[in-house]
């Protein structure tokens, strides 16, 4: 009987060059591929390998995305083992952790490493399964795609000639990481070069052995992080202190470029793009007769070869050429398509300024409901929390200042200093900045809350957790019950 292959789906990374669609808390891989209602990039990856040739996947993700991974697995009715990273250490340690877990379950396990955020059209499984004998013999197979244009955001693999005994398998002469436009053009003109798809096939044991050979310290750190992992309902959480000691490098640089076991197979008849920047999104999208890609409520006049996308409101563009316009409720990006790689510079500046827009969208879906940021400035943030029926949420103090939670509709139960208090429409709870407030929806309908967070110095009287009630007779706010 042919041994099934275990997909290892890598869900780390932010996708900074696709800001403002992609954010730290809601990165590209969890966004829809073709607008609302379509599969996300992650789900499309799962579905692509949902055949008898494959086991259920191992998913490696950030601890902050573990709940989102489980929700999107449930949406496509698929089980999977989830490994949560406490900190990001690039793909090398992530793949090694998955390989160790797969090997401990099956010493002969074959793993297929997959990025979670690529667009692929065509049957790649035929080539992958054809390479199974080579992987069983100890080869590490990296899959390449014939390039169609000189892309500077992709890695390249140069062909080192055929491998005897394995039809379709080639030696690797060199890996070239994200070359300049001029070098990419020369590589393509010279021929025998392929885009590195980021997909690879190997025995789990092979990768473990090679990692131990080239970087024993990382091998030992990741092994210890698994041995000390915390078992959670959302999978395992690697032990942070050990995992931090692992090298912060991609698998290709840390192992593939340093092992004699590396080989390459070409994914023929496949359209592939890692969709790592807005120009790549434009390249893989269907274009109208003016060469435009228009998503959402968009009107274009005398505009050509442009990508325009709007999530919530009407956007009109006039007289634009080779432009990208990405409109979201809380951020707008306008640029020339040729500057797509520079979006990361803006993202880095936003990080330095500690802007919320780099971390999260104004509207965020959560396991218990959703959060929408409706106002934000240097003095305060205002959020609307919608809590599903019977669901619970822990409203955290920010540490930056006190906050006030007000019930807009429904009613909730709050646990304050060990006492359960019912809070109804029009009532508020003041939250200490260094504490968390457990809140449960006590009604049969959605609960809507306003969370107002103050920054900087504020009257210390609001720092006590207490229930406040608005009454027309006594003014806007009156204490109903002291709980501290």
pLDDT digits (tens, 9 = 90+) for 230-275: 998 889 999 999 999 999 999 999 999 999 999 999 999 998 988 8
Q: Is the distance from CB of 42 to CB of 116 less than 8 angstroms? A: yes
* pLDDT, tens digit (0-9, with 9 covering 90-100), for 44-103: 999 999 999 999 999 999 998 898 899 899 999 999 999 999 999 999 999 999 999 999
Predicted local confidence at residue 4, as pLDDT: 95
Angle between helices 216-227 and 91-105 (to 10 degrees): 60
CATH architecture observed for domain 362-482:
Sandwich (2.60)
As a three-state string, the secondary structure of the chain is CCCCEEEEEECCCCCHHHCCCCCCCCCHHHCECCCCCCCEHHHHHHHHCCCCCECCCEEEEEHHHHHHHHHHHHHCCCCCEEEEECCCCCHHHHHHHHHHHHHHHCCCCEEEEEECCCEEECCCHHHHHHCHHHHHCCCEEEEEECCCCCCCCCCEEEEEEECCCCCCEEEEEEEECCCCHHHHHHHHHHCCEEEEEEEEEEEHHHHHHHHHHHCHHHHHHHHHHHHCCEEECCEEECCHHHHCCCCCCCHHHHCHHHCCCEEEEECCCCEEECCCCHHHHHHHCCCCCCCCEEECCEEEECCECCEEEECCCCEEEECCECEEEEEECCEEEEEEHHHHHHHHHHHHHHHHCCCHHHCCCCEEEECCEEEEEEEECCCEEEEEEEECCCCEEEEECCCCCCEEEEEEECCEEEEECCEEEEECCCEEEEECCCCEEEEEECCCCCEEEEEEEECCCCCHHHHCCEEEECCCCCCCCEEEEECC
Confidence of residue 482 (pLDDT cuts 50, 70, 90): very low
Confidence of residue 475 (pLDDT cuts 50, 70, 90): very low
Better pLDDT: 198 or 1: 198
| pLDDT at 340 exceeding the cut of 90 | yes
Q: Is the distance from CB of 250 to CB of 95 less than 8 angstroms? A: no
Predicted local confidence at residue 399, as pLDDT: 56
* pLDDT, tens digit (0-9, with 9 covering 90-100), for 137-173: 999 999 999 998 888 888 999 999 999 989 999 999 9
Confidence of residue 400 (pLDDT cuts 50, 70, 90): low
Whether the full predicted model's pTM is greater than 0.75, yes or no, is yes
Instruction: Work out the mean pLDDT of the chain and round it to a whole number.
Output: 89
| pLDDT at 466 exceeding the cut of 50 | no
Predicted local confidence at residue 361, as pLDDT: 86
Confidence of residue 479 (pLDDT cuts 50, 70, 90): very low
- What is the percent of the chain where pLDDT is above 90? 67
Name the least confident of 35-39, 403-407, 419-423: 35-39
Rounded-to-integer distance, Cα 255 and Cα 258, Å: 5
Q: Which residue has the tokens 């990361």?
A: 344
Residue spans of the domains in the chain: they are 5-276, 281-343, 362-482
Q: Which span out of 24-38, 306-320, 413-427 was modeled with the highest average pLDDT?
A: 306-320
Instruction: Report the CATH fold assignment for 5-276.
Output: Spore Coat Polysaccharide Biosynthesis Protein SpsA; Chain A (3.90.550)
| pLDDT at 32 exceeding the cut of 90 | no
């Amino acid at each position: 009987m042919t041994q099934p292959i275990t997909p290892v789906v890598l869900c780390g990374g932010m996708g900074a060059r696709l800001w403002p669609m992609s954010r730290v808390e809601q990165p590209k891989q969890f966004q829809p591929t073709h607008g609302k209602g379509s599969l996300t990039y992650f789900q499309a990856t799962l579905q692509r390998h949902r055949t008898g040739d494959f086991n259920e996947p191992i998913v490696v993700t950030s601890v902050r995305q573990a709940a989102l991974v489980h929700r999107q697995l449930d949406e496509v009715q698929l089980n999977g083992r989830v490994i949560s990273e406490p900190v990001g250490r690039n793909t090398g340690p992530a793949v090694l952790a998955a390989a160790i877990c797969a090997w401990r379950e099956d010493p002969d396990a074959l793993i297929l490493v997959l990025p979670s955020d690529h667009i692929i059209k065509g049957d790649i499984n035929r080539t992958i399964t054809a390479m199974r004998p080579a992987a069983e013999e100890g080869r590490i197979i990296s899959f390449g795609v014939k390039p169609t244009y000189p892309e500077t955001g992709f890695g390249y693999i140069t062909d080192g000639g055929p491998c005897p005994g394995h039809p379709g398998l080639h030696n690797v002469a060199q890996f070239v990481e994200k070359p300049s436009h001029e070098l990419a053009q020369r590589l393509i003109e010279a021929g025998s070069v392929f885009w590195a798809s980021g997909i690879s096939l190997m025995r789990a044991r092979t990768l473990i052995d090679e990692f131990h050979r080239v970087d024993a310290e990382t091998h030992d750190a990741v092994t210890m992080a698994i041995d000390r992992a915390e078992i959670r309902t959302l999978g395992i959480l690697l032990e942070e202190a050990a995992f931090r000691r692992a090298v912060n490098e991609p698998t290709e640089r840390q192992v593939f470029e340093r092992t004699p076991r590396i080989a390459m197979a070409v994914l023929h008849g496949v359209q592939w793009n890692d969709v790592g920047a807005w120009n790549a999104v434009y390249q893989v999208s269907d274009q109208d007769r003016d060469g435009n890609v228009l998503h959402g409520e968009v009107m274009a006049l005398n505009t050509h070869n442009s990508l325009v996308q709007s999530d919530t409101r009407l956007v009109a563009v006039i007289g634009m050429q080779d432009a990208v316009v990405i409109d979201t409720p809380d951020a707008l990006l306008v640029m020339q398509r040729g500057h797509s790689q520079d979006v990361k510079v803006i993202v880095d500046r936003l990080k330095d300024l500690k802007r919320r827009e780099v971390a999260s969208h104004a509207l965020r879906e959560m396991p218990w409901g959703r959060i929408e940021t409706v106002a934000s400035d240097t003095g305060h943030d205002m959020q609307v929390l919608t809590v599903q029926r019977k669901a619970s949420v822990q409203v955290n103090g920010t540490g930056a200042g006190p906050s006030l939670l007000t019930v807009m509709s429904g009613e909730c139960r709050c646990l304050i200093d060990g006492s359960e208090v019912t809070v109804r429409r029009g009532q508020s709870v003041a939250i200490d900045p260094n504490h968390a407030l457990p809140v449960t929806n006590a009604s049969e309908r959605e609960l809507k809350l306003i969370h107002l967070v103050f920054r900087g110095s504020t009257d210390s009287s609001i720092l006590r957790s207490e229930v406040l009630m608005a009454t027309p007779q006594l003014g806007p706010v009156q204490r109903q019950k002291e709980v501290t």
